[in-house]
Amino acid sequence: MAKITFIGAGSLVFTKNLVRDLLTFPAFEDCTIALMDINEERLGFAKQMVEKVISSGRYSAKVEATTNRAEALEGANGVVCTIMVGDLSVWRTDLEIPKAFGVDINIGDTRGPSGIFRFLRTVPAMLDICRDIERYCPDAVFLNYTNPMAMLCRAMQGETKVEVTGLCHSVQGTAAMLARWIGAPMEEITYRCAGINHQAFYLDYKWNGKDAYPLLRDAVLNRPEIYNEEQVRNEMFIHLDYYVTESSGHNSEYNAWFRKRPELIEKYCTHGTGWNPGEYAMSIKGNEKRRSDWTNKLIEWRDSPIDLNRGNEYAAYIFNAVFGDNTLFEFNGNVRNFGLIDNLPEGACVEVPVLASKRGLSPIHVGPLPDQLALLVNTSSRSEELAVEGALTGDPRKIFHAICYDPLTSAVLSLAEIKEMVDQMFAANRDYLPQFNHLHA
């Protein structure tokens, strides 16, 4: 019987949905689900919800819940991670300090000053988890959903022997959105997608084997309701010729084009019909709201009927390919760039097609990105590499230099202003950064 461990199982909806997906595979109907979280109340709710999935599907699986990570990991075949390090009070400073300097951030969990400091807080815990996996379940496949994805995966893959990759739903989610826009059934769509996390592009996008980009361009240019659904991403597509995977809110803060002046935020980020990437610190506001009513929501979810239909997240399919019934599964994962994308930094974390099989995870060579994409993605990737090196060596100067080249930050601030901002962010994170010997860059 397989054992699958959830670290950060208090991410309740995700845990419930992934357990549902796992149990739809015959190989996992009698598996052991081990739930681990440091929050006992949320852990208890997670156990109840998983038990409801098991009973609703009449599966023979069993569930264990513990606050002891070693106990949860012992003998696991697969591990899933959805942790968050630090509380809302320090997360706020990731966005509020840059905002005081004029750097307006919408989400802030991936790159730039906010993503880098989130990474600095999170990487020690992630490396500890990997070392425990090496000790208690060294052959396990480790799937990470914690952001900032690229920097964390780069650090874990460089510093440990764990077979780890990072997963993001934006690749398959955006592919389905584009299919809807051109009226294509998703099962008739194929694509090749590569880049870095949240900044990967569909290098080709085909409907029944025929290039669908002309249809997509026509829809974006001539149907206002489609253009307005994703204004930032559609502007990038119009001018860069390829479609990017992650939402307008994220991508508005990964480049210098949309958030450096209030009038640009107003024009491109405020009036979309999908969601509002123009809102400053939307991620914090959403988190505050979820925390304020989470107990009522949990009771509602616990008492609602369970949908037992398999979803589209990759994790269950990957586990099934590696240690289930060994059905091959191709997905986009985050791995180090050893001969995968020719014009991105060697060894950096990239997001490319990966084949899951009983042999494990095998990344697929992509070749070069188009030049106009490589210029944009290289800037982010090299900044991430510098941030990872700074985190692993405890060198705050490298963190400062990484943030100097963040496209949005450098479009708004001078070097001296960036230095002052970074110093303030180090001071705000003093209690969370044991890997740094001093706090000023």
Annotated binding residue 271? no
- Helix, strand and coil content of the chain, in percent to the nearest 5, comes to 50, 15, 35
- Please provide the distance, in angstroms rounded to a whole number, between the alpha carbons at the two ends of the chain: 51
**Residue 280 CB: number of other CB atoms within 10 A?**
16
- How many angstroms separate the CA atoms of 217 and 42, rounded? 45
In 3-state terms, what secondary structure has residue 204?
strand
Annotated binding residue 239? no
Torsion 170-173-177-178 (CA) sign: positive
Strands 3-7 and 163-166: unpaired
Contacts of 234 (CB under 8 A, 6+ apart): 220, 226, 227
CA nearest to 164, candidates 384, 413, 333: 333
- How many angstroms separate the CA atoms of 1 and 427, rounded? 48
Q: Is the peptide bond before 148 cis (omega within 30 degrees of 0)?
A: yes
Active site residue 169: yes
Q: Rg (Cα) of the chain, in Å, rounded?
A: 21
Cβ-in-10-Å burial (0-12, 13-18, 19+) of 415 comes to exposed
H or E element in which residue 62 lies: strand 62-66
- How many angstroms separate the CA atoms of 231 and 257, rounded? 12
Q: Which one is catalytic: 169, 271, 401, 440?
A: 169
Tell me how many degrees the CA angle 10-55-307 measures, rounded to the nearest 5: 70
In 3-state terms, what secondary structure has residue 191?
strand
List, as one string, the DSSP characters of 37-55.
-S-HHHHHHHHHHHHHHHH
Strands 32-36 and 3-7: parallel
CA nearest to 422, candidates 383, 365, 392, 366: 383
Annotated binding residue 168? yes
- How many angstroms separate the CA atoms of 66 and 73, rounded? 10
- Asked whether the beta carbons of 298 and 45 are under 8 A apart, the reply is yes
- Asked whether the beta carbons of 79 and 8 are under 8 A apart, the reply is no
| Chain centroid, CA 158 distance in Å | 18
Give the active site residues: 169
Q: Tell me the binding residues.
A: 147, 168, 198
Q: Tell me the binding residues for substrate.
A: 147
Q: Tell me the binding residues for Mn(2+).
A: 168, 198
